[in-house]
Amino acid sequence: MAAPMTSRILRLGARTTSRSLTRRCQTPSFVISTQTYIPRVLRSAPSARCFSVTRRSQAGIMPHTEEPEAPDLEPHHEAGAHADLSDEEYHLHADRYMETLQEKAEELQEGREDAGVLSITLPPNGTYIVNKQPTNKQIWLSSPLSGPKRYDWVVSGESMHQKEGGGVGDWVYIRDGTRLSALLRKEIGVSVDLSEDGDATKRPSVDPVE
């Protein structure tokens, strides 16, 4: 009697165990972690540093940029204070400088091909140009008031009743008989008196060239 009861209990336990295993296999359960994976290298790495990067300015190249300032290549010199000059000292230093400048300008003018050109600027009239014309043996004048004229060397006072070589020469505009010195005296107030140099004014005359 005891043996059959024991056998029934064992069979019932086996069935229960089998059913439990079957249910576990049919309804599996999974656990999904929502944690973000962090590599081991990054875990031990120190905190990243902050860097500031400044781009080189391209000022003046793009439309929205400003015009760059020109580099100052000239050395800076201390100007110093102006000297306390008397009137005599001022004129001495100023005249010496201007005379030296005039000499250098004349040397430069003599070394050029247009050395026979004289330019006189006189406000408010304008600029007068006086130049030599060796080909025609003339002096040409360009006046802002009276226009261009050509002057020939003319000797007056050498008639048949006068002594040869006693005439006086001057630069004359043949068409109207005006003298260059008279026109300059009238328009710019410069007096050119050739009578002071007697030998120069008594040279033989040259036939006028139109």
Q: Are 106 and 119 in contact (CB under 8 A)?
A: no
Structural domain span for residue 140:
117-157+165-192
Q: Which tokens in the block code for residue 153?
A: 């060397």
Per-residue pLDDT tens over the stretch 71-130:
666 566 566 677 888 999 889 988 988 888 888 877 776 655 556 788 888 888 899 999
Residue 137 falls within a domain, yes or no? Answer: yes
Q: Note the pLDDT of residue 203.
A: 47
Count how many domains the chain has: 1
Q: What CATH number does the domain containing 185 carry? A: 3.30.920.10
Task: Express each pLDDT in 194-208 by its tens digit.
Answer: 766 555 444 444 444
Count of H-run helices and E-run strands, the chain: 5, 6
19 CA to centre of own chain = 102
Domain contains 48: no
146 within a domain of the structure (yes/no): yes
Tell me what pLDDT residue 193 has.
78
Taking phi first (over 0 means left), then psi (-120 to 50 degrees means alpha), and beta for anything else, what does residue 140 get?
Answer: beta
Whether residue 176 contacts residue 125, with contact meaning beta carbons closer than 8 Å, is answered with no
Range name among 14-23, 54-63, 167-176 with the lowest pLDDT average: 54-63
Whether residue 91 lies inside any domain: the answer is: no
User: Has residue 128 been placed in a domain?
Assistant: yes
pLDDT class of 7 with cuts at 50, 70, 90: low
Residue 134 covered by a domain: yes
Instruction: Judge whether 150 lies within some domain.
Output: yes
Q: Bridge partners of 140?
A: 131, 150
